[in-house]
Amino acid sequence: MTGPNGGGAKEPEGLLTVIIALVANALIAVAKSIVAMITGSASMVAEAAHSWADTGNEVLLLIAERRSVKPRDDSHPLGYGREAYVWSMVAAFGLFTAGSILSITHGISQLSVPGEEEMDYRWAYIVLAISFVLEGISFTQAVRQTRSSARAAGMRSMKFVLQTSETTLRAVFFEDFAALIGLLIAGAGIGLHQLTGNEVFDAVGSILVGVLLGVVALILIVRNGQFLVGQTVDQRIRNKALRALLARPDIDRVTYLWLEYVGPSRLYLVAAVDLSRDDAESVLQGRMQAIEDELERADFVERARLTLSAPDEPALAPTDPDPDRVPGTRG
């Protein structure tokens, strides 16, 4: 049985992705802030706010990575995995407030009160180019991890990054993507300002960057909220889990199956099964406990709970064909 994101244990590459994004955004934020003060460009102010918001978000995502892998205890019988969605939610709100709202309000203020100083375009273009390279490095790492995981899961990359339970990967992917688009918008606003002498273009660039950040933040907020309130797995993963249970020689039927995310790549599994052989109740209980313990040894199963099926309950069957099944065999 493969993991819910196409593999087994949570990939250490996820931590590398966040660290690369953190370093890149911190360097970019400092450079943009200096140039924003030198040029007075509204688009550069928006970009500086964007990068500082991203830097703070990466710190929160690192906290999410570390706290979500703590082992379960008596106070958290399903583990601490959902902390990843809590901290990612906080990061998304930070992106919305510190990035989106600040950029939009600053752009609007520049529309009504245009500056009088001449902008130093050279420094603006230099920093935008350097930022694009650094953001590109971070985004390349996020794309590499996304493609690898999507390939293992048999999904397209964009569908995977929207559906995956790996919230830090989704956050870095969309934040870096938005950063690259925002740099192009800022560059266009500054370029049009230089060509026309009209500062409206620079202010509009700031507003558009803010709108872009707001859209990305809302996507991340909605997805984290769905996992926090109890996100079930998709049908593809459910079919894999059902086949894995039916492939066991000690399970004849499965009549109920519930799989819910309790953290990134961590599942809570509940199933009603009909065990092979008619043993005494005390023996059956021991056999079920042994199966639960074996299931929980899988890196992606946080907790497994089995119960006996009622005799009249209909058996479940996978809803799609098994490409690996040999005709005439069980399962």
pTM: 0.78
User: Which of 322, 312, 166, 302 minimizes the C-alpha distance to 244?
Assistant: 322
* Residue 308 near residue 284 (C-beta atoms within 8 A): yes
Q: What is the mean pLDDT of each run of 10 residues along the chain (331 residues)?
A: 51 73 85 81 76 82 81 84 89 80 81 61 85 89 90 87 90 89 89 85 86 90 92 88 90 92 92 82 81 88 90 86 44 39
pLDDT given at position 225: 93
pLDDT given at position 329: 35
Q: What is the per-residue burial (b if ≥16 Cβ within 10 Å, else e) of 280-308?
A: eeeeeeebbeebbeebeebebbbbbebee
In angstroms, the CA 155 to CA 165 distance is 14
In angstroms, the CA 59 to CA 155 distance is 29
In angstroms, the CA 26 to CA 233 distance is 35
Quick one: how far is CA 278 from the chain centroid? 45
CATH of domain 235-308: 3.30.70.1350
pLDDT given at position 118: 59
* Residue 216 near residue 175 (C-beta atoms within 8 A): yes
- Where along the chain do its domains lie? 14-229, 235-308
In angstroms, the CA 308 to CA 289 distance is 12
Give domain 14-229's CATH number out of 1.20.1510.10, 1.10.3720.10, 3.30.56.10, 3.10.20.30. Answer: 1.20.1510.10
**Greatest C-alpha distance within the chain:** 89
14-229 and 235-308: same fold?
A: no
CB under 8 Å to 108, separation ≥6 — which residues? 203, 207
pLDDT given at position 218: 92
Q: Which residues pair with 251 in a beta bridge?
A: 275
Using the 8-state DSSP alphabet, how is residue 69 labeled? T
With the C-alpha atoms ordered 210, 211, 215, 218, is the resulting torsion angle positive or negative? positive
